[in-house]
Amino acid sequence: MSSLKAVILAAGKGTRMKSDLPKVVHTIDGKCLVDYVIEAAEGAGAEEICLVVGYKHEIVKERIAHKEEVSFVLQEEQLGTGHAVKCAREFLGDKGETLILFGDTPLITAETLRRLADYHRTQKNTVTVLSAKIDDPTGYGRIIRDEKGSFVKSVEHKDASEKELSSHEINSGMYLFDTKELCEALGKIKPNNAQGEYYLPDTLAIIREKGLKVDAFALESPEDIEGVNDKEQLAAAEKIIQRRKSCL
């Protein structure tokens, strides 16, 4: 089986948390948000993990429980998810598979990531997006499929047409890539969008244009991919984690 690495994007400030701390070091049950993500990646078989850090990166390195098990790269400017992954180019190498995860999604589980990997390998995909259907997809990137249900593209909310906005299947921002193809596509993305940023989802179209297989693995429930952007969402995530613990 291919070697598996994970890149966790953890550079953001998280202004909506109304705190001076980097978002990923806020805690649930005494554990930093990003530590939950690291544990999920390890549980899914990631042999090496890299955190892309930025805002107050010294605090992230100091506070997380798993600092000895991961490597760190610095994203000095916040120029989008594609740029963040580009910062980890040296870590990626050009072999095996790479999971792309977010440091503010503490509800992601090793089980879900294993299912994503199984689907990716069974379908012989070059890249698989982790997606889910939600009632209110406002603000999220959308997964667009054709009449047969096959993946066509992922489009950011701000760049989507009226028709594309009617899709309720959202891109979680989490992926499993063939590493070599990811690195080649990263070299081709451009900031041609409303935000002037390098979007990681743009790599999907580049890979698809090569005739390689791009797909989305849709979860039955969006719970695992819910992120934490403010204190309210932090409290909601804490309730879910406590519920899961009581079920063990």
Asked whether 84 and 11 are in contact (CB, 8 A), the reply is yes
Element (H, E) at 182: helix 179-186
Task: Give the whole-angstrom CA distance, residue 78 versus residue 195.
Answer: 11
Measured distance CA(28)–CA(35) in Å, rounded: 10
Closest CA to 78 of 52, 51, 113: 52
CA 106/CA 28 separation, integer angstroms:
9
Q: CA 216 to CA 125: how far, in whole Å?
A: 10
Amino acid at 98: T
Point out the residues that are catalytic: 16
CA 229 from chain centre, in angstroms, equals 14
Cα gap 130→200, rounded to integer Å: 13
